[in-house]
Amino acid sequence: MSKNVLIALAYGTEEIEVISVIDLLRRASYRVTVASSAEIVTLSRGVKIKNELLLDSMSELAEFDAIVVPGGTNGVNILSTNNKLLTIIKNNYEKGNLIAAICAAPLVLKKAGILSKESIVTSHPGIREELGDYIYSEERVVVCNNLITSRGAGTSFEFIFAILNYFGDGDKAEKIANDILYK
């Protein structure tokens, strides 16, 4: 069964961490919805993306199989102040749905209040100190219960394959990896 995934964006979000997630999850036949607070979002290197849904129009009870938060310092700072998104993340986490964050985006998870002292996380090294209350790992991708975190743009494919494997779609991950000559 196809999974329903929300990707939250803001001005300054990292392109690679957005485009690769959208592309590979759609190759796996996941339903990916791109949402932000603006109709058109300018990402960190000037790429513009037209979103499919306004975050502010969403119900706080909106449910997804997974929510993915890409990094990029400016985008993370903006997303961390969006109370609607933070509530949606918290509600989905509490229902056991997957929450995945890459690069600086674990700071959004921290702001949403879903990390505990037992949470094992990784991130871009530049924000490691801000995640000092949690168990920090330097692994490229960390899966901890219904959380997946990853280091940065260079770990994007591993991050996406971890999402697919989390849902038991290792065969899709393998096929996509072969199709794009990842291995």
Nearest Cα to Cα of residue 150 among 94, 112, 99, 115: 99
Nearest Cα to Cα of residue 108 among 147, 145, 161: 147
Question: Is 17 a catalytic site residue?
Answer: yes
Question: Is 139 a catalytic site residue?
Answer: no
Q: Which amino acid, residue 65? A: D
Q: Choosing from 17, 130, 138, 158, which is the catalytic residue?
A: 17
- Residue 165 makes CB contacts below 8 A (sequence gap 6+) with 173
Q: Choosing from 14, 94, 118, 124, which is the catalytic residue?
A: 124
- Residue 15 makes CB contacts below 8 A (sequence gap 6+) with 43, 44, 45, 47
What pairing do the DSSP bridges indicate for beta strands 66-69 and 98-102? parallel
Q: Choosing from 14, 52, 94, 103, which is the catalytic residue?
A: 103
Tell me which residues are annotated as active site: 17, 103, 124
